[in-house]
Amino acid sequence: MSDKRSAGVGSTAERAAAFARLADHHLDAAYHLAQAILRDPSEARDATHDALVQAFRKWSSLRDPALFERWFDRILVNICRNRLQHATRWRATDISTEVGLASGDHFGRAADDHEVLGDAIATLSPDHRMVVALRYYRDLQVDEIAARLGIPSGTVQSRLHYALKHLHRAIGAADAKGTV
Amino acid sequence: MADHDLELRLYAWYRAEIDDNQSAPSELRTDLATLAEAAAVSRPRLLERWRFPVIVQLAPFALATAAVVVALVIGMNLLLPRPNDVGPSIGPSATPATPAPSPTPSVAPPPVLEGRLLFSRRSEARGTWTGMFTIATDGSDEQQVLQPGPDAGGRWSTSGQEIAVPTTLPDGRIGTAILAADGTVLRILEIPDPTLNVGCTVWSPDDTRLVCEAWDNGDPARRGIYAVSAADGSNLVRLTESPAGIGDFPGDVSIDGQLVFKRGPVDGGRGPLWLVPLAGGQPVQLTADSYDDPGRFNPDGQLIATSVRTQLAILGRDGIVVFEPNNQGRSDFGPDWSPDGDWIVFSSGVTGPFADLYISHPDGSARFVVKTTADNEIAVDWGRAP
């Protein structure tokens, strides 16, 4: 079956084979994106696995297989977001990010520039962490990010703005403590 | 630093952090091949061949089908509305459809259970915390508890008379407020330390002590778990010293005075569970495996409820898993025990951060939904009725 055909057309075997072909082609990139968002290889593996299962279940709903990458990324980032939300559900955002952030509490004195930025990214909210990863890891433009997240471009711009502001504060706090 | 400089640093950070030449783990390709092959053969074979997480994720379809069959057999009384059944849910025990007596246990009305649930609600559509609420175990009588500070999960005292929540002190530090069940602020705990942030929510069984997550903005080495007097915040005692870059997150205190806590990444990520005496002593690692929740003791202190990924886990005092309640294809997390220890309450969602509160026996049986909403109900705590 040609990949140009609708995902919902063909026998079960053909549909499964088409899905496997497209998913395999995109698998490495998907795993790397999950790593960029989740910053944990095992979490990234699990998220990618879950995305494969969900995507397969929804495969017949994809009208144009040419849009597979965008469609699959959207499933993946939603799963990553869920996992981030799940991981931080107990701790209030006010405690885990703003307070510690303003103080540079998360940053070790011996931390280098890479660690400081990594720690700062770790304090971003799930929404902010996703747009930052899509923008600066995937190098996607605002409208492409919006398509993957299913939100307006203006919201993406707003999230990027506040994410950068947040990172500035975090790095500034670390700088003030002489860690960079 | 200008935005442009920061953007360049971000590009460089991701390039250094993610190796684009590295292939995805081989098991993912194996999973993908198995999925496609099994789907091409037959659906039953798909169920047989896939490992547990996939079976779990396919389970809702089977359960939904079973629910339809049960509904047809039982008859039209299933169409009667239930007060707390305001939206679709998955699984026959999650959709008890009538208050009338039924010959099928899975469609029986939820039992009337002792105590009251305290939980936090987040609107994912708006990206904001809606607040903290209490609710009866049958989903009725929901009441908001106004918080004097940041949006964070609170905990009932053992007596059910008070609620401990983090709050913001006048000097900007995080402290602790003690509330009545209606949200009235009863007292703000003093912090007998000039620089420590001390957020306390975990009560001792006799309600005289509170266990707290604490940190010093000027000295990361002071991060750890501390205990204070629940009356006024005095008698500050350090219980753990978090390793560098690691956080200790208090879970619960057993009837015999052991604190269970999670030691993991400071952003709240997964970590193994540990025990330390509330009176002070050397922490002991309880589990080799990592969990998402820091653990909750049942009333007699012999079992610990926690979760990992989408799965609840009930551990013995030796850290060995006793039950893994069937999650019915959902993502279950954040469990707590009923005051009598016969039930657990937890958050449960299907996709995305839109969990609802569910109750079941610790082995997963007799599961039912407390209330279905479009928001994310989390950080649930089951207290005795005030």
Supply the ipTM of this predicted assembly. Answer: 0.78
User: Would an 8 Å CB–CB cutoff place A108 in contact with chain B?
Assistant: yes
Any chain B CB within 8 A of the CB of A28? yes
Q: Which tops the pLDDT comparison, B8 or B272?
A: B272
pLDDT reported for residue B109: 66
Answer whether A86 sits within 8 Å of B333, measured CB to CB. Answer: yes
- B158-208 confidence digits (pLDDT tens): 999 999 998 888 888 889 999 998 889 999 999 999 999 999 999 999 999
Element containing residue B277 per DSSP (H, E): strand B271-277
Q: What is the pLDDT of residue B150?
A: 61
Strand ordering across the sheet containing B209-216: B196-203, B209-216, B219-229, B237-238
Query: What domains appear along chain A, each with residue ranges and CATH number?
Result: 3-86 (1.10.1740.10), 98-176 (1.10.10.10)
How many Å lie between the alpha carbon of A100 and the closest alpha carbon of chain B?
7
Tell me how crowded residue B99 is: count the other CB atoms within 10 A of its CB: 14
- Binned at pLDDT 50, 70 and 90, residue B57 comes out as very low
Burial A37-61 (b: 16+ CB within 10 A, else e): bbbbeebbbbbbbbbbbbbbeebee
Quote the Cα angle for B222-B154-B356, to 5°.
Answer: 125
How many Å apart are CA A83 and CA A86, to the nearest integer? 5
Q: Which of B213-222, B251-260, B328-337 has the highest mean pLDDT?
A: B251-260
What percent of chain B has pLDDT above 90?
Answer: 49
Please list, in sequence order, all residues whose beta carbon lies within 8 angstroms of the beta carbon of residue B8, skipping any fewer than 6 positions away: none
A65 reaches B (C-beta below 8 A): no
- Using the Cβ of B149 and the Cβ atoms of chain A, whether some distance falls under 8 Å is answered with yes
List all residues 6 or more positions away from A148 whose beta carbon is below 8 Å from its beta carbon. A70, A73, A74, A77, A134, A140
pLDDT at B94 over 50: no
| CA dist., res. B220 & res. B69, Å (int) | 58
Q: Which residue of A has its CA nearest to B39?
A: A16
The string of pLDDT tens digits covering residues B342-366 is 999 999 987 666 789 999 999 999 9
* pLDDT at A176 (0 to 100): 67
Consecutive sets of 10 residues in chain A, 180 residues long: mean pLDDT of each? 43 77 90 91 87 81 80 89 65 32 32 78 88 92 87 87 88 64
pTM: 0.54
Two structure tokens written together for B133: 């609420």
B330, two tokens: 């959902």
Kindly report the number of other CB atoms within 10 A of residue A151's CB atom: 15
Q: For residue B298, what pLDDT is reported?
A: 97
Q: What confidence tier does B123 reach under pLDDT thresholds 50, 70, 90?
A: confident
Q: Are B267 and A93 in contact (CB < 8 Å)?
A: no
Does any CB of chain A come closer than 8 Å to the CB of residue B195? no
Residue range B187-200, pLDDT digits in tens = 999 999 999 999 99
